Copies of this chain bind each other. A is one copy, B any other.
Amino acid sequence: MFQFTVTAKNNRARTGIFSTPHGDLVTPVFAPVGTQATVKTLTPEHLKSINASLVLSNTYHLYLRPGDELVRDMGGLHKFMQWPNPMLTDSGGFQVFSLAKTRKIDNDGVTFKSHIDGSTHRFTPEKSIAIQENLGADIIMAFDECSDPNDTAYSKIAMDRTHRWAERSVNAKVRADQALFGIVQGGVNPDLRAESAEFIASLNTPGIAIGGLSVGETKEEMHTILDVVTPLLPEDRPRYLMGVGTPEDLINGVLRGVDIFDCVLPTRLARHHSAFAPEGRLNMMNATFARDERPIDETCDCYACTTFTRAYIRHLIVAKELLAGSLLSIHNLRALIRLMEEIRSNIKDGTFETKAPILLERWGNNAKRA
C-alpha cells in the first residue's frame, strides 16, 4: 500500500501511480475540494462523470461540524459522503489560521475560537491526527503552521515548529491504512525552504506536501520555491502542492515535479458565475451571452457543455437559479481534470515539455477574467 511508481518522466515532470486503500491514483492529479464532506452543489455521480479521482475534505470544518467522531461512527468519510475513491484530509492548520475567529499559538499547539459559534477549541499535532484517523481519508496531513510568506523571521519560527509538529504527527499516527504526508514550509525564503524540504524528506513519509504557497506570494516566488524544493525531495514519493490552483499553476507545478494539487478555485468561481474557457475566464452573467447558442467551451466534454447553451446558463444566473452553480462547477472542475489528463498523456508520450508553452498560452489567461 502507498507505493508510488513513476511510470514516465519529462525532465522534472512525471506521471505515476500512487496506490491507496480506495484505488490507484494516477498522477499528476487535481483534487476537487469537498470542504464539508461535499463538493459544493455536486453529487458523487457528478464527480464520477467528470473523472474526478481524489477528493479533499477539511479537517477543521468536519471536526466542528458534524464532528469527527460522528463521521467515524457513520463508517468514515468515504461511506458518509459516498465517495468510493481516494480521499485526502488536510490537518486543519491552515483553516485555524485563516478562518478561526481568534487563535493563540504555542509550541504545543493552537487554541482557537470556532468561526461558527465562537466556542473554544484546541488543536495539537496529536489531536489533528486523531481527528483525521476518525475521518479515515486515504491521505492525511501532518499538523503545520502556515505563516505570512513575506515575514522571514517568523517563517523560521513557524518552520521549526512545523518540523517538531511533523515528528509528533508521525509518532501520533496509529492507523496503518492512511498515508501521512509531512509538509514543507519556510515562506518565500529559499534557504528555509531547502532546510524544510531536507528535514521533511528525512521523516520518510509516504508522500510530501508543500504548504504555504498560493497565500500571497508572487508567481515568480512560487516557481523559485518549487525549483528549490522538489529537487530535494525523494523521487519515489508523491509531492502535493497544497491549495493550488489556477490552470497555469497546474502546468507550472507539473513542470517543476509536482504530482498532486487541490484548490477551491473552480467551484468558488462557479458560484460567482465564472467559467474556465480557452479564450480566458468568462463571466457567464455577461449580456453578450444572452443569445449565445454555443456551449461554455466547445472543446469540453462535460455534462454542462454537451447539454446546455451559454444562453441557458446565463438565464439561470440572472434568474438566481442554483443550477447555474452546479453546471459551472461541473464545467470548471472538468476543465482542470481534463487539463491534467492531457498533461499525463503528454508526459507519457514525452511531449509535455514542448507542449507546456502551448498549454500555458491556451489556459494561462484563465488566471484573470477574459
Contacts and interface: CB of A to CB of B under 8 A. Distances in A.
A319 interface: yes
A312 B80 contact: yes
Contacts of A318: 65-66
A311 interface: yes
Nearest to A71: B315
A152 interface: no
Nearest to A69: B291
Interface stretch (A36-44, A129-137, A166-174, A226-234): A36-44
Interface string A287-318: 00011010000000001000111011011101
Please give the count of copies of this chain that the complex contains: 2
Given A315-B66, A321-B36, A74 B41 contact: no
A323 interface: yes
A151 interface: no
B312 A41 contact: no
A314 B36 CA distance: 12
Interface residues of A, number: 38
Contacts of A92: none
A164 B331 CA distance: 49
Contacts of A308: 82
Contact of A70 (B36, B291, B326): B291
A45 interface: yes
A82 B327 CA distance: 13
A359 interface: no
Contacts of A44: 307
19 contacts: A36-B315, A36-B316, A38-B321, A38-B323, A40-B322, A40-B323, A42-B323, A43-B326, A43-B327, A61-B319, A65-B315, A65-B319, A66-B319, A70-B291, A70-B315, A74-B293, A80-B309, A80-B311, A82-B307
Interface string A349-361: 0000000000000
Interface string A13-27: 000000000000000
Contacts of A187: none
A323 B70 contact: no
Contacts of A38: 316, 321, 323
| Most interface-central of A61, A73, A321 (chain B CB within 10 A) | A321
Nearest to A309: B74
Interface string A79-123: 011100000000000000000000000000000000000000000
Given A66-B290, A318-B65, A312 B74 contact: yes
A244 B324 CA distance: 28
A325 interface: yes
Interface string A209-227: 0000000000000000000
Contacts of A311: 66, 70, 74, 80
Given A43-B326, A74-B291, A312 B81 contact: yes
